[in-house]
Structure 1
Amino acid sequence: MGSQAPMVDIMVVFDFDKTIVDCDTDNWVIDNLGFTEMFEKLLPTMPWNTLMDLMMKTMHEKGVTKEDIVEVLNRTPMHDRIIPAIKSAYDAGCDLRILSDANRFFIETILDHHGIKDYFTEIHTNPGYVDENGRVRIFPHHDFTTAPHNCDNILCPPNMCKGVVMKQLLANEGDNTFIYLGDGNGDHCPSLKLREGDCCMPRKNYPLWGVISSNPNLINAKIHGWSDGGDLERVLLSLIHDLLSNKQEKKGGHQSLAKVDFKLKNNVPRPSREVLPPALSVSQ
């Protein structure tokens, strides 16, 4: 694990699926273990998390072990610049969090495999764990049958409103400048909660990009798009560098930016402010 600089009042909040990893982890596991047909047949009949828990039960009954699932998760595709980006943000003193509609078991397994779980202060996601019988269990973040999250954003799934979590983070950690990275429709609600001075990083040509493009004025934060892991690294580290520089100028201080500057000198160009196009046609 890297040597973290003193905390710098910047919180970087990552989505996980199609942001840190380059796929949907639920689909990755289902497809690689040969249960796609059953999953697609049942999907119209029940909520996503309920179906995932049922799929884990079915796999367990058919002899699929926890180790089989871990082996598939360890092969989850990830761009080769994601881990350096995470380590550089941590080393610069940022507080890193994950806000994801995946599940804890999948996320922690992947982060452990890459040796980066301890870089994150907190993971907000759907509960997922292995029970006493060796079966993976998956549950919704919000128990929508007894306590719905009551968000009126139609893009939020019933099991998790990321905007509710983001409001809590802002209430508890509001002295930080926030950078939020995401790709999907469910990332729109937390993006709406960001303030002026915060930064929103939607993945280009993914659903969040399309929704923001249709009405960018709804987002108070500065919008900086990215396309792949290399782009994510360039944009994120440049934003962190600029935020640190601005904070130090306001404080009149001269704290070293050597670690971030080093990355910038190694062909990580400073991005210009993205001008979002009109509404994009984006498929799921």
Structure 2
Amino acid sequence: MAGIVVVFDFDKTLIDCDSDNWVVDELGATDLFNQLLPTMPWNSLMDRMMKELHAQGKTIEDVVEILKRTPIHPRIVPAIKAAHALGCELRVVSDANLFFIETILNHLGLRDYFSEINTNPGFVDEEGKLRIFPYHDFHSSPHGCSNCPLNMCKGLVIERIQAEPVEGKRKFIYLGDGKGDYCPSLKLGDGDYVMPRKNYPLWDLICENRLFVKAEIHEWIDGKDLEEILLGLINKISIEENAQFISPDCKLQTIAVSAHEAMPQALRVQQ
């Protein structure tokens, strides 16, 4: 059976907010952020904000405690665990930063479910302040994609994943919400799936340009929707793949399985 790669955006997809705004707002630095926003790229601004907050006496421990309170729909964690248990490879492709993402995933007990996190580098320096750098160095090696912000082209990340040497054909399911998720959606092909969050920028862009998206489109509204649709698609792909190995002399009876029924029994008991 072909492998299934599920690629998640992070902000407003896995979590129910923008992690950058969440930290800035919770640390009381919204006014300064808004003042500096017109003067520099978002990614560079976040690095500047971490310097300013450190100078004001905010510690990395303060940041961690705020990240632990990040809002997330209660069905997201079970959805990730179920998709992993069903044999999918899970990855993150996000314009947040590594420190924020790993802190939140570790707090939720989910870090080991993801084989890879593609995002802007973020680390604590020797002075104890968080530094955030662009995924693509837009000064020395710009990515040249007009659809994406200067610091990260998610489409290039998807192309790199698609080009990895693997046995058999993989099918991709991509989940996202923002403008930056449009470019990777265009990289998906027939047999792949894109799950845009309804009434968010990615959904709007896809609605305006449906003919450009080759993947099958399945919109979602909240974490409950995400869980049901994602597990339903995984089940659908599995049934289709298994059907290819059944002799033409055999009669295949396809049984519709709900997203909840698609979960392994152990996970359903845990819920």
Q: Same fold (TM over 0.5)?
A: yes
RMSD after superposition: 1.6
Deviations 1:69-112 (A, max 9, x none): 00000000000000000000000000000000000000000000
* Aligned equivalent of 1:199: 193
Q: Which amino acid aligns with 1:90?
A: H
* Aligned equivalent of 1:257: none
Return the offset for 1:22: 0.3
1:26 to 2:53 alignment: no
What is the 5 A alignment of 1:44-193? 44-153=38-147, 156-172=148-164, 175-193=169-187
Q: Which amino acid aligns with 1:171?
A: A
CA distance in structure 2 between the aligned counterparts of 1:167 and 1:39, rounded to whole angstroms = 33
Contact between 1:237 and 1:264, CA under 8 Å: does it hold in 2?
no
Return the offset for 1:265: 6.8
CA distance in structure 2 between the aligned counterparts of 1:173 and 1:109, rounded to whole angstroms = 30
Contact between 1:49 and 1:140, CA under 8 Å: does it hold in 2?
yes
CA distance in structure 1 between the aligned counterparts of 2:206 and 2:165, rounded to whole angstroms = 25
Return the offset for 1:263: 2.3
CA distance in structure 1 between the aligned counterparts of 2:41 and 2:9, rounded to whole angstroms = 21
* TM-score for both structures, normalised by structure 2: 0.90
Contact between 1:163 and 1:190, CA under 8 Å: does it hold in 2?
yes
Return the offset for 1:173: 5.8
Listed as ranges, the gaps of 5+ residues in structure 2 are: 248-256, 264-271
Distance verdict in 2 for CA 1:236–1:262, change over 3 Å: closer
Listed as ranges, the gaps of 5+ residues in structure 1 are: 1-6, 254-259, 267-284
Deviations 1:212-248 (A, max 9, x none): 0011111000000000000000000000000001011
CA distance in structure 1 between the aligned counterparts of 2:138 and 2:9, rounded to whole angstroms = 21
239, 258, 263: which one pairs with 2:260? 263
CA distance in structure 2 between the aligned counterparts of 1:251 and 1:93, rounded to whole angstroms = 18
* Aligned equivalent of 1:279: none
Size of the aligned set, in residue pairs, is 252
CA distance in structure 1 between the aligned counterparts of 2:64 and 2:262, rounded to whole angstroms = 38
What is the 5 A alignment of 1:200-219? 200-219=194-213
Return the offset for 1:8: 5.6
Return the offset for 1:262: 7.8
Distance verdict in 2 for CA 1:150–1:205, change over 3 Å: same
SS at match of 2:95: strand
Contact between 1:184 and 1:208, CA under 8 Å: does it hold in 2?
yes
Return the offset for 1:15: 0.2
Percent of pairs identical after alignment?
A: 58
Q: Which amino acid aligns with 1:199?
A: Y
Contact between 1:8 and 1:93, CA under 8 Å: does it hold in 2?
no
Contact between 2:124 and 2:130, CA under 8 Å: does it hold in 1?
yes
Distance verdict in 2 for CA 1:173–1:240, change over 3 Å: farther
SS at match of 1:157: coil
CA distance in structure 2 between the aligned counterparts of 1:235 and 1:112, rounded to whole angstroms = 25
Distance verdict in 2 for CA 1:173–1:28, change over 3 Å: farther
Distance verdict in 2 for CA 1:28–1:186, change over 3 Å: same
Contact between 1:79 and 1:229, CA under 8 Å: does it hold in 2?
yes
Deviations 1:33-62 (A, max 9, x none): 000000000000011111111110111111
4+ residue segments displaced more than 3 Å: none
